[in-house]
């Protein structure tokens, strides 16, 4: 694309140079006297300056369309310089082209800087001007013997060449009496309306647009004044000395307008370049979403600038930095630039329409928005993880306290009481033996042995609740042993399972045990359960499923059992998933990364 633009610019410059040379030659050859070379340079500037400014504008993406339009206008304005010729045909072509030049200049002024007419009223002004050209200007080329003089586009006065397009036998009187004054008045009104429109756009637009339009508004307003003065003076005294001066001012207003375009574009570029530098200086080292919005609004002087962030995935929604759903503010029309990070929608920047195609703004805003959003997202995730860790630690601490109290209670109420009773019986037996009241009683001693066995069983049962002894023989054996004692018929399938760190096997065992207990207590209508355990691709996967009535996880919420399972698995780097729906049972799935054995 860049190479193509460069070739178009070179071709336009070469053709513009040729047309300027032809303009100089025609003007010098047709000059009646005075300063022909000075006049020739002035006429050539009406062609060369617009083309040069158009080439500059076309090299900037926001102004490419306007630059192309201005180059085409410069080529068209070349035809009006033929009015400087002393020959009838080129002179007549130049005079007719000068009428169209006014309409083209009107269009270019209203289309600055985008190359498009921004509003319906602008199109109405240009359309009315075109209609006036078709009805009041072009038909007269076949009815007049001489074109009106003096003219800003011709150097002759009373000795101008005849109209080469004259078809009527004589010039109708109504042309000079009605048509000519009416069309000149309408032309002044059209340019006055254009100046008013520029003023209105400046008052209602952002700072950047005001800076860009100010030079064009100044020149356009001055040209309206000169045009009105020219029409008035020529109507009162066509031979007045002021008429040639005003005519030359109108002629030079064309390159002056092109220079105003250039100044406006230059002010645009300076503002945008400075804004990008200001943006970098105003952002803190680790900006948040609101910091970015304030910095962009200040740097580009757009107080209404807003940033919305995309929350969620495909079915997400726009929200502000506080994750409150975003609604576009009412008022003046705004442009929206969406920010994507790869294929992921990140943010939307609502800003001044003048910046919509400005690469510097879009590039800077997009880069900073992606970085800021990622920082904000990572900070939010880190905060959420910290909250989860804190909550998990609190739950673990509470569980540990509850477990200690349970162990203390079980020891006090069970094994401790039996051991205390056993100690008392032993002391009584010892006292009896010391008194010699009876010889050793084998039955009594056997009774004491039974008490010892019962105490040992209770201690083993208590220890079994802390760490199941069957886990010493491996995870699969422990699960199968638990399945034999379960309240439901349970089948255990295992594939590729070996030995793992103790904390990992414990987490898997108790998670499966909790899932089986939930199935027995909460799975209405469940008749059986299945435990599948397998190691695949460096991950230990297991699933506990039942054939119960199922439920909707989105509405049921999570109890302490599921929370405890998630905490156990999170401690060994695992993740838990619940899959269930009414009528289809429940599946508790988990994945834990494992080191290669």
Q: How confident is the model at residue 324 (pLDDT cuts 50, 70, 90)?
A: low
Q: How confident is the model at residue 315 (pLDDT cuts 50, 70, 90)?
A: low
**Is residue 33 pLDDT above 60, yes or no?**
no
**Is residue 224 pLDDT above 80, yes or no?**
yes
Q: What is the pLDDT of residue 260?
A: 93
Average pLDDT, the chain: 80
Q: Using CA atoms, how far apart are residues 534 and 495, in angstroms rounded to an integer?
A: 5
Q: Using CA atoms, how far apart are residues 456 and 253, in angstroms rounded to an integer?
A: 112
Please give the structure tokens belonging to residue 264.
Answer: 């406006």
Compute the average pLDDT of residues 526-536: 89
Class of domain 2-274: mainly alpha
Q: Where does 325-479 show beta strands of DSSP type E?
A: 335-341, 344-351
Short-list 506, 519, 413, CA closest to 465 = 506
**Is residue 436 pLDDT above 90, yes or no?**
no
Range in 132-141, 160-169, 585-594 the model is least confident about = 160-169
Short-list 111, 163, 110, 118, CA closest to 139 = 163
Q: What is the pLDDT of residue 218?
A: 93
Q: Using CA atoms, how far apart are residues 347 and 246, in angstroms rounded to an integer?
A: 55
Residues in the chain: 597
pLDDT in tens, 471-507: 788 888 888 888 887 778 889 998 888 888 888 888 8
374: Cα within 13 Å, side-chain hemisphere = 11
CATH of domain 471-593: 3.30.565.10
Q: Is the dihedral of CA 459, 465, 466, 468 positive or negative?
A: positive
Compute the average pLDDT of residues 518-530: 82
Q: How confident is the model at residue 406 (pLDDT cuts 50, 70, 90)?
A: low
**Is residue 26 pLDDT above 70, yes or no?**
yes
Higher per-residue pLDDT: 217 or 353 = 217
pTM for the complete prediction? 0.63
How is the chain split into domains, by residue range? 2-274, 283-373, 391-466, 471-593
Asked if omega into 113 is within 30° of 0 (cis), the reply is yes
**Is residue 265 pLDDT above 80, yes or no?**
yes
**Is residue 465 pLDDT above 60, yes or no?**
no
Higher per-residue pLDDT: 94 or 385 = 94
Strands 529-536 vs 490-495: parallel, antiparallel or unpaired: parallel
Short-list 325, 354, 350, CA closest to 339 = 350
Chain center to CA of 498: 51
Q: Using CA atoms, how far apart are residues 479 and 509, in angstroms rounded to an integer?
A: 7
227: Cα within 13 Å, side-chain hemisphere = 22
**Is residue 302 pLDDT above 60, yes or no?**
yes
Compute the average pLDDT of residues 288-295: 78
Burial of 479 (0-12, 13-18, 19+ CB in 10 A): buried
Q: Which letter does DSSP use for residue 133 in this model?
A: I
Q: What is the pLDDT of residue 155?
A: 67
Q: What is the pLDDT of residue 85?
A: 84
Q: What is the pLDDT of residue 196?
A: 94
Short-list 406, 429, 428, 409, CA closest to 417 = 409
pLDDT in tens, 85-131: 888 898 899 889 989 988 999 999 999 988 899 889 999 999 999 99
**Is residue 444 pLDDT above 70, yes or no?**
no
**Is residue 165 pLDDT above 70, yes or no?**
yes
Q: What is the pLDDT of residue 377?
A: 65
Q: How confident is the model at residue 594 (pLDDT cuts 50, 70, 90)?
A: confident
Q: What is the pLDDT of residue 284?
A: 76
Q: How confident is the model at residue 69 (pLDDT cuts 50, 70, 90)?
A: very high
pLDDT in tens, 166-219: 887 787 888 888 998 999 899 999 999 999 999 998 888 778 888 889 999 999
């Amino acid at each position: 694309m860049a190479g193509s633009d460069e070739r178009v610019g070179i071709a336009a410059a070469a053709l513009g140079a040729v047309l300027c040379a032809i303009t100089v030659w025609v003007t010098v050859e047709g000059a009646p006297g005075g300063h022909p070379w000075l006049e020739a340079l002035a006429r050539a500037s009406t062609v060369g300056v617009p083309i040069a400014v158009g080439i500059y504008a076309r090299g900037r993406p926001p102004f490419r369309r306007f630059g192309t339009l201005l180059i085409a206008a410069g080529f068209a304005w070349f035809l009006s310089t033929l009015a400087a010729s002393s020959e009838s045909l080129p002179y007549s072509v130049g005079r007719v082209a000068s009428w169209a030049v006014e309409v083209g200049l009107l269009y270019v002024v209203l289309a600055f800087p985008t190359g498009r007419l921004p509003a319906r009223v602008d199109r109405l002004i240009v359309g009315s001007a075109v209609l006036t050209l078709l009805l009041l200007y072009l038909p007269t080329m076949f009815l007049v013997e001489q074109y009106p003089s003096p003219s800003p586009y011709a150097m002759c006065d009373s000795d101008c060449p005849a109209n080469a397009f004259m078809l009527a036998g004589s010039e109708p009187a109504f042309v000079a009496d009605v048509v000519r004054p009416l069309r000149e008045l309408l032309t002044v009104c059209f340019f006055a309306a254009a100046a008013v429109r520029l003023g209105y756009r400046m008052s209602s637009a952002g700072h950047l647009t005001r800076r860009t339009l100010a030079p064009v508004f100044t020149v356009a307003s001055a040209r309206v004044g000169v045009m009105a003065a020219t029409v008035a003076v020529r109507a009162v005294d066509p031979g007045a000395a002021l008429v040639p001066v005003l005519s030359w001012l109108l002629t030079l207003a064309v390159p002056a307008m092109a220079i105003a375009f250039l100044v406006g574009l230059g002010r645009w570029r300076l503002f945008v370049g400075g804004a990008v530098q200001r943006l970098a200086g105003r952002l803190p080292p680790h900006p948040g979403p609101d910091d970015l919005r304030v910095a962009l609004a200040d740097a580009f002087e757009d107080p209404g600038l807003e940033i919305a962030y995309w929350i969620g995935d495909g079915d997400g929604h726009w929200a502000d930095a506080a994750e409150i759903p975003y609604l576009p503010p009412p008022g003046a029309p705004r442009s929206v630039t969406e920010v994507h990070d790869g294929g992921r929608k990140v943010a939307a920047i609502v800003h001044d329409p003048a910046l919509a195609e400005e690469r510097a703004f879009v590039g800077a805003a997009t880069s900073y928005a992606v970085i800021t959003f990622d920082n904000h997202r990572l900070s939010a995730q880190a905060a959420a993880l910290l909250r989860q860790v804190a909550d998990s630690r609190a739950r673990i601490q509470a569980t540990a306290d509850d477990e200690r109290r349970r162990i203390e209670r079980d020891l006090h109420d069970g094994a401790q009481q039996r051991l205390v009773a056993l100690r008392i019986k032993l002391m009584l037996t010892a006292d009896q033996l010391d008194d010699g009241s009876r010889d050793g009683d084998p039955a009594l001693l056997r009774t004491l042995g039974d008490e010892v066995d019962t105490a040992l069983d209770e201690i083993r049962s208590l220890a079994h609740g802390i760490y199941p002894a069957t886990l010493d023989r491996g995870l699969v054996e422990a699960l199968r042993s638990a399945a034999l004692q379960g309240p439901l018929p349970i089948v255990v399938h295992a594939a590729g399972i070996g030995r793992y760190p103790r904390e990992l096997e414990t987490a898997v065992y108790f998670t499966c045990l909790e899932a089986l207990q939930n199935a027995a207590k909460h799975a209405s209508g469940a008749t059986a359960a299945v435990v599948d355990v397998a190691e695949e691709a460096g991950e230990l996967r297991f699933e506990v499923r039942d054939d119960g009535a199922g439920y909707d996880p989105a509405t049921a919420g999570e109890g302490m059992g599921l929370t405890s399972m998630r905490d156990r698995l999170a401690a060994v780097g695992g993740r838990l998933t619940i899959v269930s729906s009414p009528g289809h049972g429940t599946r508790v799935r988990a994945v834990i990364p494992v080191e290669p054995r």
